[in-house]
A and B are shown apart, each in its own frame.
Chain A
Amino acid sequence: MATAAVTTERKNYLNAEYGIRSWLLTTDHKRIALLYLLSITLFFFIGGFFALLIRLELLTPAGDLLTADMYNKAFTMHGQIMVFFFLIPSIPAVLGNFLIPMMIGAKDLAFPRINLLSWYIYVAAGVLYIYCLATGGVDTGWTFYTPYSSMFSNTHVVEAGLAIFIVGFSSILTGLNFVVTVHRMRAPGLTWSRLPLFVWSHYATSIIMLLGTPVIAITLVLVVLERTLNLGIFDPARGGDPVLFQHLFWFYSHPAVYIMILPSMAVMSEIIPCFSRKRVFGYTFVAMSSIAIAAIGFIVWAHHMFVAGISLYSALVFSCLSFLVAVPSAIKVFNWTATMYKGSVSFSTPMLYAMGFIGLFTIGGLTGLFLATLGVDVHVHDTYFVIAHFHYVMVGGAVMGYLGGMHFWWPKISGRMYPEGWGRLAAVVVFIGFNLTFFPQFIVGYLGMPRRYWQYPPEYQVYNVLSTAGASILAVGYLLPMVYLLWSLRYGKIAPDNPWQATGLEWRTASPPPTFNFDETPEVTWEAYEYDKMPLPEEVTLER
């Protein structure tokens, strides 16, 4: 699809070779990024379809559209697909894969074939998950809590568990590749203190992938073993401990939240300086806060378990630590905001997404404090308040960042400009639709509506109707970029090499880049974000 649409005279990674073989056997990080783009987009729309079912069911208090079992499967598969098959690979495997080698002046990642392998592992896991879905699906909630998942559920827990076990390896290999690449393949002169913050943030993400993912893999294998062989690991009737599962699960799944949000923060740290024409405010603090988030993120997991039956004192410790992890996130938000100060701010599409991100991530982060506060968490835990909170972070944060990044680097990836007017419109529609969908859920959550409810007391209906209305606007906001980005592949203006006059090395090569990125290895003698040395970009016009 992409190959047919792009026609430029220069040889680039898209027209260097043709044919399906040249894609399926490629070791070019840019082509692999596009393979990932296609596959995660497919899963985004499957996951989105389940979200649609959930919102339609909740339009009325009675359980009327779906059966209870169908509803339980819908929210389970929405969660598992969005977390494991969309959000975790989204920015790292697409934008990270495409950009990191170029940003550090390398020809490719350190292990190009392992990079391709990681995509095949992703596809294998995806096929297994779709098989699970097609043969009846799974209903445990994305969290797989035992002993429900291991002994009581009558659905395809083993298939789903194995699919997620397998997809974890794709994430481990991507992380490994990034870590080695950043350590070993930086261009001459590109010291750590000159690295773009995008790379810093992905480096932190990769460390979490490497250290955390094996734990969820082991945990899911234990669930599968208990389910198939009746081992007593988590089921108390067989001498196991169900709370042990929660510790293991959240030991990965809380840091996984940072796997999802750090890459989005990476995108922000590129977009905001570029469209403010300023060096990023407090480079060292933004870089180090990524590392701090990755490190502290590993010691806060039990804040998901304040009412699960853990001891009073461990709850106190985990509550206190959870507040600490908010500090580096706050540092980032303040620094991005300060970057705009005395800048030359343009309202281009990526910047609109960035400003939206800061706003929504701020709300998502602040409502996280409610959940870290022990006495408050007891009330709002497992209610829609939690749902609203993590969608503000995961969708308002991670997905806004992903869309902002897709627009920002689209000229580089495709060699075409997207229609600016449509881009801005979509960004505004997403922002409005998102808030209308998820803000009412804070209120209905505080009122006490538990999550994962197929039917609910009628006094909660108003908020659910608002939420469903918002979701339909949000759906339009997500379909718009799909349409005009595809449209731009054929009809978009040819993109210059550096349409935004951005400072990164990826902008110093052709759009789209040649297969080996640079004609000769660049030598870096400057810091990241020297926007005073860059000319202003041509005014972006709203005409197509």
Chain B
Amino acid sequence: MFDNLPLWPTAASSHARYEDWLFIFLTVVSVVMTVLIFAVIAVFAMKYRRRHGREATQIEGSLLLEIGWSIAPLGIMMLMFAGGAVLYFIMRSPPRDSAQVYVVAKQWMWKLQHMEGPREINQLHVPVDRDVELIMTSQDVIHSFYVPAFRVKQDVLPGRYTTLWFRATKPGTYHLFCAQFCGTMHSGMIGEVTVMESKDYQAWMTSAAPSGSLAQTGMTLFQQLGCNTCHLNDVQGRGPVLKGVYGNPVQLGDGRTVTADENYIRESILVPAAKVVSGFRPIMPSWQGQVNEEQLNELIAYIKSLNPPPTGEAVTAGAPGGTTPPPSAK
């Protein structure tokens, strides 16, 4: 293949093969249709070109043809819809035991926090053949996390979390782009995703010299901020016990029930009065402007780590609490 004339993007994730086949199916249908239309126009234009002594034959139309060329394309399009919907469904459903990485986007930089502790900027190292889920938020405007080789893209919004997952299938280094226009250096908000063999990844993880897992940093912060004066570990304090809260339904004072996912925990830290747990008074102060996005991630990681590890499932290396259920679809 010509080095300077790439025709097909590298496919390096479990989604990529599926997406490529879908794309090929669509391309084949489109090429057939385009060639058909071009050919018919060319044939009609030549065969029925204006000549002396031959008049046009007036035809009103044909109900049968109209129905035919409405239904047939609709049928093919519903196949496209189904194929795309299944892939999208898979893309939006991260496996329960995915390794989680927090992503904080800002103009014009990607900041990443591994559960095990290492932090990276514009670089993401992941092991091959392992499901990885990114939990992403933005400090300022909307960005979009895009890795063409994985065929995944997800907008990263300020004020809430969006998620994206992939399973890398081929070691290598791939482009990471910001795909949503975000200001002056939008095109400079790029980086690399490095997919490594398992043992190389372990070596990298060790050499990245973590000062402790994200949850441990979060626990330290939890104590520094004095959260533990109200949120006691085992007995009821002025705030609810946080152990086992993550991923489970919470009964609110107004009768509603919400799931305590990342977005709920985030809101409860920043705007505590918004959804107060039943039986508690709205006495918690807001931490808006006092903890930054990365610290929020550390606190959430700590709260997640308080969940007892479910039996029978793999324990995420380095995260004290172990595995977590998937955050609900947003």
Chain A positions near chain B (C-beta within 8 angstroms): 63, 68-69, 72, 139-141, 145, 147-148, 151-153, 235-237, 242-243, 276-279, 281-285, 306-309, 311-312, 315-316, 319-320, 323-324, 326-327, 330-331, 333-335, 337-338, 340-347, 355, 358-359, 362-363, 366-367, 369-370, 372-379, 381-383, 443, 446-448, 450-457, 459, 461-462, 531-532, 536
A276:B19 contact, CB within 8 angstroms: no
Compute how far the CA of A456 lies from the CA of B189 in the bound complex, rounded to whole angstroms. 11
What residues of chain A lie closer than 8 Å to B90, measured between beta carbons? 375
In the complex formed, the residue of A with least CB distance to B71 is: A327
Compute how far the CA of A362 lies from the CA of B65 in the bound complex, rounded to whole angstroms. 19
In the complex formed, the residue of B with least CB distance to A354 is: B41
In the complex with contacts A147-B141, A369-B77, A284-B61 CB distance below 8 A: yes
Known pairs A237-B159, A359-B41, A370-B30. 16 more at Cβ < 8 A? A140-B181, A148-B141, A236-B157, A282-B60, A309-B160, A338-B59, A340-B41, A346-B50, A375-B87, A378-B87, A379-B148, A382-B180, A447-B8, A452-B181, A459-B4, A532-B58
What residues of chain A lie closer than 8 Å to B86, measured between beta carbons? 375
Q: Does B245 contact A (CB under 8 A)?
A: no
Compute how far the CA of A452 lies from the CA of B108 in the bound complex, rounded to whole angstroms. 14
What residues of chain A lie closer than 8 Å to B153, measured between beta carbons? 307, 378-379, 381-382
A337:B84 contact, CB within 8 angstroms: no
Q: Does B319 contact A (CB under 8 A)?
A: no
CB distance from B222 to the nearest CB of A (A): 24
Q: Does B49 contact A (CB under 8 A)?
A: yes
Compute how far the CA of A309 lies from the CA of B18 in the bound complex, rounded to whole angstroms. 22
What residues of chain B lie closer than 8 Å to A383, measured between beta carbons? 179
Interface secondary structure of B, over-half rule:
mixed
CB distance from A342 to the nearest CB of B (A): 4
B57:A448 contact, CB within 8 angstroms: no
Contact pattern, B 1-39, Cβ under 8 Å of A = 1, otherwise 0: 000111111000001001100110010011001100110
What residues of chain A lie closer than 8 Å to B78, measured between beta carbons? 323
Best-surrounded residue of B142, B157, B329 (most CB of chain A within 10 A): B142
CB distance from B18 to the nearest CB of A (A): 7
In the complex formed, the residue of B with least CB distance to A321 is: B81
Q: Which of A140, A277, A282, A320 contacts B61 (CB 8 A)?
A: A282
A242:B70 contact, CB within 8 angstroms: no
In the complex formed, the residue of B with least CB distance to A458 is: B4
What residues of chain B lie closer than 8 Å to A378, measured between beta carbons? 19, 87-88, 91, 151-154
Q: What are 9 A-B pairs with beta-carbon distances under 8 A?
A: A147-B158, A312-B89, A362-B34, A372-B84, A375-B85, A376-B87, A378-B19, A379-B148, A531-B56
Compute how far the CA of A147 lies from the CA of B106 in the bound complex, rounded to whole angstroms. 13
A285:B175 contact, CB within 8 angstroms: no
In the complex formed, the residue of B with least CB distance to A337 is: B40
What residues of chain B lie closer than 8 Å to A148, measured between beta carbons? 141-142, 181-183
Compute how far the CA of A324 lies from the CA of B81 in the bound complex, rounded to whole angstroms. 10
In the complex with contacts A309-B157, A362-B33, A319-B85 CB distance below 8 A: yes
In the complex with contacts A148-B141, A459-B4, A331-B70 CB distance below 8 A: yes
What residues of chain A lie closer than 8 Å to B6, measured between beta carbons? 447, 459
CB distance from B195 to the nearest CB of A (A): 16
What residues of chain A lie closer than 8 Å to B34, measured between beta carbons? 359, 362-363, 366
In the complex with contacts A370-B26, A373-B83, A448-B146, A342-B73 CB distance below 8 A: no
Interface residues on B, range: 35 or more
CB distance from A271 to the nearest CB of B (A): 14
In the complex formed, the residue of A with least CB distance to B60 is: A279
CB distance from A415 to the nearest CB of B (A): 26
A344:B54 contact, CB within 8 angstroms: yes
Compute how far the CA of A23 lies from the CA of B153 in the bound complex, rounded to whole angstroms. 53
A375:B83 contact, CB within 8 angstroms: yes
A69:B184 contact, CB within 8 angstroms: yes
Contact pattern, B 71-82, Cβ under 8 Å of A = 1, otherwise 0: 001100110110
A243:B157 contact, CB within 8 angstroms: yes
What residues of chain B lie closer than 8 Å to A362, measured between beta carbons? 33-34, 37-38
A457:B141 contact, CB within 8 angstroms: no
What residues of chain B lie closer than 8 Å to A307, measured between beta carbons? 144, 153-155
Best-surrounded residue of A235, A311, A347, A381 (most CB of chain B within 10 A): A381
Closest 4 CB pairs of A and B: A448-B148, A236-B159, A375-B87, A373-B84
CB proximity to A under 8 Å, residues B174-203: 175, 177-188
B37:A341 contact, CB within 8 angstroms: no
Best-surrounded residue of A312, A359, A379 (most CB of chain B within 10 A): A379
Q: Which of B33, B41, B160 contacts A236 (CB 8 A)?
A: B160
What residues of chain A lie closer than 8 Å to B84, measured between beta carbons? 319, 372-377
Q: Which of A315, A342, A359, A375 contacts B19 (CB 8 A)?
A: A375
A343:B158 contact, CB within 8 angstroms: no
What residues of chain B lie closer than 8 Å to A327, measured between beta carbons? 70, 73-74, 77
CB distance from A484 to the nearest CB of B (A): 24
B56:A342 contact, CB within 8 angstroms: yes
CB distance from A239 to the nearest CB of B (A): 9
A340:B48 contact, CB within 8 angstroms: yes
What residues of chain A lie closer than 8 Å to B152, measured between beta carbons? 378-379
CB distance from A343 to the nearest CB of B (A): 5
B181:A141 contact, CB within 8 angstroms: yes
What residues of chain B lie closer than 8 Å to A337, measured between beta carbons? 37, 40-41, 44
In the complex with contacts A340-B41, A369-B30, A370-B23, A319-B59 CB distance below 8 A: no
What residues of chain A lie closer than 8 Å to B29, measured between beta carbons? 366, 369
What residues of chain A lie closer than 8 Å to B130, measured between beta carbons? none
Compute how far the CA of A367 lies from the CA of B31 in the bound complex, rounded to whole angstroms. 10
In the complex formed, the residue of B with least CB distance to A363 is: B34
CB distance from B173 to the nearest CB of A (A): 12
What residues of chain B lie closer than 8 Å to A277, measured between beta carbons? 50, 55-56
What residues of chain B lie closer than 8 Å to A278, measured between beta carbons? 56-59
A375:B70 contact, CB within 8 angstroms: no
In the complex formed, the residue of B with least CB distance to A243 is: B157
Q: Does B96 contact A (CB under 8 A)?
A: no
Compute how far the CA of A308 lies from the CA of B155 in the bound complex, rounded to whole angstroms. 5
What residues of chain A lie closer than 8 Å to B188, measured between beta carbons? 68, 455
Compute how far the CA of A369 lies from the CA of B184 in the bound complex, rounded to whole angstroms. 32
